[in-house]
Homo-oligomer: A and B are copies of this chain.
C-alpha cells in the first residue's frame, strides 16, 4: 500500500442511515480535499407509509453531493441484500454510472432489481466471493463474513494509506446462523492486531440489553409451537431471512404440514435462494390455489406482511379479501417477526382483525424465541469493540437517540474517540483527531409515481394541505369588455356535503363571494388574470373559512373569450 501524501485525508460521509434506521448510504473519500476519490458503501431505501407520506412508496437518500463528485466515484460496494442497503440502486445508479460489487446472493437480488429498471445490461455488476478481496484506487477492501438476518452479510475491512476502516454493515453474533458461516472472529482479531483506525457500526439495538439470540433457537421454538397447532397455520416472517424461511419449511414438515408460499416477495426470494444453492433440502411448496384441497391440519402458509403493510398477503387475509387463503376460528397466525417502529398501529389493526375472526395469534411477546433480531444487542456491541479495538467509534444505522447512546457506550468501553454523525456530516478520520469538518447537503427523495421528488417539494406540501383542508376550484369566463360572461362556478372536493341543502347554500355563498370580489376589481385589474385569480381566491378562501372553518386550497381558472 502506497504512503499517504502530505495533503491526503481520509473522510467518511453518511448521507443515509445516520439519524434514521433504514435508507443507508455511506461514502468514504481519500485524497487531498480538492481531489478526493470516493467509494459508496450501500445505497438503500426506506418505505413510505400511506399515513405519513401518502402516495409515496419509496424514499431514497438524496445523493446530490455525490452526484457532483460523480467523476471521482470509483464504485458502489454492497454489504448485503436488505432493501435498506440495496433498494435505491435501480433509482440512483443512472446518476453515477459506476461499477457495482456484491457477493453472489446479493448480486442475484440486485440483478432482479436492475431488470425491473431496464438496467440489467447497463450496470457493470461484479460478484465477489465470500471472504473475497477488491481494490479500488486507494481502497483495499476485504469482505468479512458476519451473521445477520439474511444470507451473506458482509462487513468491509477498508484499508487505505491512512489506516484501516472496519465498516460492519448490519450484523449480530449468531453462534448458529443455520445458513452461512459464523462470524469470522479470526479475521476481526487479525484486523485489531494490524490496528483499526475507525469502526463504523450498526446502532439499531444499542438500547437492548444482552444478546440477540440465535436462528437455531428460533428453529427449535417455532417447530415446537407449530406442532401444537391444530387448525390452519400461517407464519409471517421477512422473506429475506432465508434461514427463517428454511425453519418454517422444516417445521411444516415436522408437523405434517405442506408449506405454501403466499406473497410475491416470498416467492421471489425463495427462488433467489434456490438459485444460489440454498434451501436444497426443504419440502416441496405448493401454490396458493392448491392449498384449499388440503385438510386444515396439513397446511402451513408462509406469508409476507408481518408489518401490517396494507397490500401484503397477511393484511388481505386479515380483512378476509385474499383470493386463495382464508383463516377462521381455530386457525393460528404466528408472527416470527418484530414490530418495526412506526408500524405499531398497522400491526395492532392486523391483530385486532384476526382476533375478531377468532384466529389465535402467537407473537414474540408471548413466545420470545419465535423471533430473534438481526442486529447486535449491547453485549454483542461490547464483544465487537473487544475484538476490533478501534481508535475511533463512528455509530451509524440509528436514530439520533441510538447513535448518541452508542457514542456513550463506546466511550465507556474506552474507545479513545467517538463521533455520532448526522446525515451530511463530513467526518475526517485521518490525519489527526477525528472531527466533523463540513456539512454537505443531505435529505430525502420521494419516489412519487414516475417522478423522483425532493421531500420538501411544493407539490407534496400541497397534497398535505389537500388532505387536511380539501380543494375548491373557481371557474369563470370573461368577455371582450372585461365582464363575466359565464360563471363563476364552484367545484369542491374533500369538504363534506353531509347535509345537501346546506351544501347547496354554501356553494351559492362561495359563488356570491367570487362574483362580488370580481365586481370590486378596477377595470385594469380585470384585464389581468393574476389580479382576477388572486382576488377571487382570497374571497372564496375567506368565505369557506367562515362557512366551514376549513382552509381549502383555492384555485381559479379564468377563460378569456
Contact = CB atoms under 8 A, between A and B. Distances in A.
Contact of A550 (B448, B454, B485): B448
Given A400-B356, A448-B496, A453-B496, A464 B463 contact: no
Nearest to A344: B344
Contact of A547 (B448, B450, B559): B450
Contact of A449 (B401, B549, B559): B549
A424 interface: no
Contacts of A55: 467-470, 550
Contacts of A559: 475-477, 486-487, 489, 559
A343 to B, nearest CB: 9
Nearest to A349: B399
A557 B475 contact: yes
Interface string A459-502: 11011101111110101110000000111010101111110000
A404 interface: yes
A459 B496 contact: yes
A341 B345 CA distance: 7
B466 A463 contact: yes
Contacts of A487: 557, 559
Contacts of A451: 495-496, 498, 548
Q: What is the copy number of this chain in the assembly?
A: 2
Contact of A470 (B50, B348, B462): B462
Contacts of A148: none
Interface string A103-142: 0000000000000000000000000000000000000000
Contacts of A462: 470, 493-494
Nearest to A556: B491
A405 to B, nearest CB: 9
A87 interface: no
A553 interface: yes
Contact of A498 (B51, B351, B453): B453
Interface string A253-283: 0000000000000000000000000000000
Contacts of A475: 473, 475, 557, 559
Given A342-B345, A355-B400, A457-B498, 14 more contacts: A51-B52, A207-B365, A342-B344, A448-B495, A450-B548, A450-B549, A450-B550, A453-B496, A457-B496, A460-B494, A462-B493, A473-B475, A486-B559, A557-B557
